[in-house]
A and B are shown apart, each in its own frame.
Chain A
Amino acid sequence: QQPVQSPQAVILREGEDAVINCSSSKALYSVHWYRQKHGEAPVFLMILLKGGEQKGHEKISASFNEKKQQSSLYLTASQLSYSGTYFCGTSQLNAGGTSYGKLTFGQGTILTVHP
């Protein structure tokens, strides 16, 4: 089941903040976030496991609301290097409390940061 990302595109000026959302209709074991620049491979940003934790990495952080099956990626004080397409990837929870072993990506959010 493909997760739904919003918004589809965001345009920012350097220093502005952005939030990208990811939601699923299925119970989730984990949520991953990746950034892909044009012509390059997706690069891992962070992973959140069920439990409602929040993680941060410099000016990029994320949260996972286990009850709502939603995750949000927070980009603060954006830099030009943040431009790219952001994908969330979700792994569904199985009856045994782990995942089915498949990571399914959302449609992506195109982030453009201007000087």
Chain B
Amino acid sequence: DTEVTQTPKHLVMGMTNKKSLKCEQHMGHRAMYWYKQKAKKPPELMFVYSYEKLSINESVPSRFSPECPNSSLLNLHLHALQPEDSALYLCASSVGRFGDSPLHFGNGTRLTVT
């Protein structure tokens, strides 16, 4: 069982819809991440939050909007997405954000944009 929980597991949305992905962890980790993974490709970093503050944005288009309401929750708000945004969106957490602690991944949300 994963200790990072992501909802929903699957999401189909139209290009004009607004939806949100949710991620939750109760391990006391202070760093949380959003990664995007296309089929047969490695996870690509999108955002890093450290102590609930956005510390890294990998030049992600503004149609993706992250939010960290508290130390256990991470959201990704989606608006006006394109079909090429269809992918597996992975949330992860770690004790610290300096690369010296493992990333714990959730099972992901498989997003399809129609």
Chain B: how many interface residues by the 8 Å CB criterion?
27
Contact A108 B42 (CB under 8 A): yes
B59 at the interface (CB under 8 A from A): no
- A-B pairs under 8 A by CB, number: 67
Q: How large is the interface on A (under 10, 10 to 19, 20 to 34, 35 or more residues)?
A: 20 to 34
A residues sitting closer than 8 Å to B (CB atoms) are 2, 29-30, 32, 34, 40-44, 47, 49, 87, 89, 91, 98-99, 101-108
30 interchain pairs, CB-CB under 8 A: A29-B99, A32-B99, A34-B103, A41-B2, A41-B90, A41-B105, A41-B108, A42-B43, A42-B90, A43-B105, A44-B103, A47-B102, A49-B100, A89-B103, A98-B99, A99-B98, A99-B100, A101-B50, A101-B55, A101-B97, A101-B98, A102-B45, A102-B56, A104-B45, A105-B43, A106-B42, A107-B41, A107-B42, A108-B40, A108-B42
